[in-house]
Amino acid sequence: MLEQLLENGESEMLACFRERFRPEDLAETLVAFANGNGGSAVIGISGRVRPKVEGVQDIQAAEEAALEAALACTPPLVLPLPQQLTSNQQTVLLIEVPPGLPNVYSLHGKYLRREGPSNAPIPPNALRQLLIERGEVGWERVRPENVAMGDLSEMKIQSYVARIGPPADGDPLGWLYRRGCLTRDNQAVYQPTNAGMLLFSITTERDYPQCELTLVRYTGNEMSDEFERVDIRTTLPDQVRRAELWLGEHMRRGSRMVGLEREDWTEYPPAAVREALVNAVAHRDYTVRGEGIRIAMFVDRLEVYSPGRLPGHVTIDNIAAERFSRNETLVQVLADLGLIERLGYGIDRMQRQMADAGLPPPEFRETAAGFLVTLRNKGMNVANTSIIDTAKWEALGLNERQIGALVFLTENRRITNRDLQDLSPDVSPETIRRDLSDLVDRGLILKIGQKRATYYILR
């Protein structure tokens, strides 16, 4: 990866630094990348046209200097953690600036952009246009009124810091400040920002009534009086985890036998559903009050609605290719927690996952005040295929072998100990016997015959 990155030398998207660099020089480059389409800075490299790997001896010092450079920008840059890359037993640091950042960045009043391998001042007309396109510092960085550090959950902060490790555990509050979750007043006293409250608050429902995620499952193709509903009012990481669990439990799942192999199926690719969910949580407009995220499951489709129209220059036509993050801090912290991919929306991944599952492509639509993603299950309806819905068996707590036995029985009408042994060759005969005996005790199958003539049928 490193050799490929350095192949053509410094460019509009790449800058190289030796181990001993001035944080201000790196900060200028980070600002230039951020005001453009992003880029990569590699520490531990000499030469601009023909880069040579020298390596970094003091990794911690280089990481601290890189974080200092990001913090020196105005507003402070929120970046993914530096990556360590190795080539010829030499370690370098890779700092990536994602594309589509929501602000216009400066260093000591200088607004820069990347021109080839150099940083250059942004001309007045271009700066004016950039300011119009990106706007001012986002709502997530603003300190809300009537909140204090005591409104944040120490347990949630500690859990987050533990995941980050050394860059954060020495100074947790300083790390949250660099991430944009905290701000400081004139006396250098930390206070939570809107982002910090959405991510770590213990008072989310009180302070952010719009921070609600509603999940509904209808029994047909349209809204009706018959439905199952749950409302989730908590911090964003917990919203994602709880909603993903609910969606997984309420999606239809099934299996079919292909020869002696069991082939599993889900109504929608779980990864595509996860992309739609986390994108809604991470990129919605939280300034819109009176409305939350709504996810509706119908027999033929899944709809994910989030308040706020598409941000920046993103349109329905270019949504898979363009990048613009309305909520820079929220996206990065959710990425730190492993809940979302930092670089980009993941729309292209969602499209690939639906295509790989043989499903129609995702549908995207802007409404008067929001954004709607629709995933359709056309062509994969359990009722009109050979796929057997196994959700009810999973709900009973049956193990994979037992579910496989019931799938086999549905297609073949009878099963023997030997058949199940062939399906699970690595399992002992005694375990096979217990699995079948348990299914008999549960009233799911009937035992016919004795000894070698024994076989089982569905009850």
* The dihedral formed by the CA atoms of 148, 286, 240 and 233, expressed in degrees to the nearest 10: 60
pTM, rounded to two decimals: 0.70
Residue 363 Ramachandran class (φ > 0 left, ψ -120 to 50 alpha, else beta): beta
| pLDDT at site 383 | 46
d(C-alpha 202, C-alpha 150), whole Å: 9
pLDDT in tens, 196-244: 999 999 988 889 999 999 999 998 888 988 889 999 999 999 999 999 9
Question: 384 pLDDT exceeds 50?
Answer: no
Is 376 within 8 Å of 300 (Cβ atoms)?
yes
Is 77 within 8 Å of 141 (Cβ atoms)?
no
237 token code pair: 């990481």
| pLDDT at site 395 | 80
| pLDDT at site 133 | 73
- Percent of the chain at pLDDT > 70 equals 93
Top-confidence residue, 346 or 432: 432
Banded model confidence at residue 267, pLDDT cuts 50, 70, 90: confident
Residue with tokens 């992309």: 275
Q: Which residues have a Cβ under 8 Å from the Cβ of 407 and sit 6 or more positions away?
A: 255, 256, 257, 262, 388, 390
The DSSP call for residue 139 is G
Provide the 10 A C-beta neighbour count for residue 59. Answer: 18
Top-confidence residue, 408 or 195: 195
Mean pLDDT of 298-317: 86
d(C-alpha 146, C-alpha 381), whole Å: 51
d(C-alpha 425, C-alpha 325), whole Å: 50
| pLDDT at site 24 | 93
| Highest-pLDDT range among 7-11, 84-88, 272-276 | 272-276
d(C-alpha 10, C-alpha 16), whole Å: 7
Provide the 10 A C-beta neighbour count for residue 357. Answer: 18
155 token code pair: 């347990």
The DSSP call for residue 362 is P
Is 149 within 8 Å of 192 (Cβ atoms)?
yes
Q: Which residues have a Cβ under 8 Å from the Cβ of 40 and sit 6 or more positions away?
A: 5, 13, 14, 15, 94, 95, 96, 97
Q: Which of 126-140, 247-261, 314-328, 376-390 has the lowest mean pLDDT?
A: 376-390
| pLDDT at site 315 | 81
Question: 120 pLDDT exceeds 90?
Answer: yes
d(C-alpha 325, C-alpha 31), whole Å: 16
- Percent of the chain at pLDDT > 90 equals 47
Question: 378 pLDDT exceeds 70?
Answer: no
Mean pLDDT of 257-269: 71
Top-confidence residue, 261 or 41: 41
| pLDDT at site 403 | 87
290 token code pair: 């009176």
Mean pLDDT of 363-368: 91
Length of the chain: 459
Is 273 within 8 Å of 251 (Cβ atoms)?
yes
Q: Please give the biggest Cα pair distance in the chain.
A: 90
Provide the 10 A C-beta neighbour count for residue 412. Answer: 11
Question: 191 pLDDT exceeds 90?
Answer: yes
- Residue type (1 letter), 275: E
Q: What is the DSSP string of 23-51?
A: HHHHHHHHHHHHTTT-EEEEESEE-SSS-
Question: 99 pLDDT exceeds 60?
Answer: yes
d(C-alpha 178, C-alpha 162), whole Å: 16
Mean pLDDT of 424-434: 89
d(C-alpha 268, C-alpha 164), whole Å: 32
Average pLDDT, the chain: 87
227 token code pair: 């439905």
- Residue type (1 letter), 216: V
Is 339 within 8 Å of 237 (Cβ atoms)?
yes
Banded model confidence at residue 255, pLDDT cuts 50, 70, 90: low
d(C-alpha 281, C-alpha 211), whole Å: 9
Strand partners, 184: 190
d(C-alpha 204, C-alpha 437), whole Å: 49
d(C-alpha 253, C-alpha 382), whole Å: 9
Determine phi and psi for 143, rounding to 5 degrees.
-85, 120
Q: What is the DSSP string of 363-401?
A: EEEE-SSEEEEEEE-TT--GGGSS-EE-HHHHHTT--HH
| pLDDT at site 51 | 86
Top-confidence residue, 3 or 163: 163
Is 279 within 8 Å of 330 (Cβ atoms)?
no
Mean pLDDT of 403-409: 87
